[in-house]
């Protein structure tokens, strides 16, 4: 589907570097803080996130999601508009995954079982990677930036009532030259609270770390409303 091809190419790759990175030495201070963040993320069992991206004047994407490693469940919704196509489209998607079974919301508001997540994309695998300090798609790639980014210390600010410090990171983006990011890490817990990037002109926020979430399996064929963060 054009939706997944474009969204993954423009957004997910901005979170998880898959090579094409810069081999620089991280200046002192930033290296320690990013390592603290990697260690803090190993203890995370649930979180929520939201994003918005405007890579071109004719393309816009917005979405939100929540994931619980304790439940092995996730709930993700997105809205993508692309008028720079021979057949322009405006697409909404909402998917709930429970124990590797995916459910997709239909245009009439009902739900149907969509299929099974691929083994590499199952929540069990995603959570196992996080526990090992490895990068996953729905959180900033802290290990990748630690290993291959140029990091500069920024100012403190508040995101969703949490005080965090901004760190400016430069990496090489695939086919895009250099990507410039700003990552705000919690002053007390070292967890990422916000990330912006000039790649796809995107902004991500991360909240509700380790707050119990209730993600329920939809009733197939029954109309339900969308969730709100």
Tokens 């250099």 belong to residue: 178
For 42-51, write each residue's pLDDT tens digit. Answer: 999 999 999 9
The DSSP 8-state label assigned to residue 124 in this structure reads H
Q: What is the band of 16 on the pLDDT scale with cuts at 50, 70, 90?
A: very low
Instruction: Look at 20-24, 128-132, 174-178, 200-204 and tell me which has the smallest mean pLDDT.
Output: 20-24
Q: Is the pLDDT of residue 205 over 70?
A: yes
Closest CA to 207 of 102, 65, 32, 86: 65
> What mean pLDDT comes out for the span 93-119?
89
What average pLDDT does the chain have? 84
pLDDT at 117: 73
Helix (H, G, I), strand (E, B) or coil at 17: coil
Residue-level pLDDT at 222 = 53
All domains in the chain, ordered by first residue: 20-207 (2.50.20.20)
The stretch 191-217 carries a mean pLDDT of 95
Contacts of 55 (CB under 8 A, 6+ apart): 10, 200, 201, 202
**Rounded mean pLDDT of 197-225?**
86
Task: Give me the pLDDT at residue 20, please.
Answer: 33
Categorize the per-residue pLDDT at 199 as very low, low, confident or very high, splitting at 50, 70 and 90: confident
Q: Is the predicted pLDDT of residue 84 greater than 50, yes or no? A: yes
Whether the predicted pLDDT of 209 surpasses 80: yes
- Find the mean pLDDT for residues 152-171: 96
Length of the chain: 229
Whole-angstrom Cα Rg for the chain: 18
> Tokens standing for 18?
């898959």
- pTM score, two decimals? 0.81
| pLDDT at res. 189 | 97
Specify the pLDDT at position 100: 86
């Amino acid at each position: 589907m054009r939706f997944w091809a474009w969204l993954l190419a423009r957004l997910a790759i901005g979170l998880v570097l898959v090579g094409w990175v810069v081999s620089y030495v991280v200046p002192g201070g930033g290296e320690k803080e990013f390592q603290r963040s990697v260690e803090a993320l190993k203890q995370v069992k649930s979180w929520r996130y939201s994003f918005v991206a405007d890579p071109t004047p004719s393309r816009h994407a917005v979405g939100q999601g929540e994931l619980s490693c304790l439940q092995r469940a996730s709930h993700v919704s997105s809205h993508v508009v692309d008028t720079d196509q021979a057949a322009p489209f405006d697409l909404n998607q909402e998917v709930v995954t429970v124990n590797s079974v995916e459910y997709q919301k239909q245009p009439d508001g009902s739900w149907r079982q969509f299929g099974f997540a691929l083994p590499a994309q199952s929540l069990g695998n995603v959570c196992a990677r996080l526990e090992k300090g490895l990068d996953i798609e729905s959180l900033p790639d802290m290990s990748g930036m630690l290993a291959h980014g140029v990091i500069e210390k920024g100012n403190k600010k508040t995101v969703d009532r949490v005080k965090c410090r901004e760190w400016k990171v430069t990496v090489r983006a695939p086919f895009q030259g250099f990507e410039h990011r700003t990552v705000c890490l919690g002053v007390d817990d070292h967890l990422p609270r916000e990330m912006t990037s000039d790649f796809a002109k995107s902004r991500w926020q991360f909240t509700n770390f380790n707050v119990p979430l209730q993600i329920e399996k939809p009733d197939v064929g029954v109309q339900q409303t969308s969730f709100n963060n």
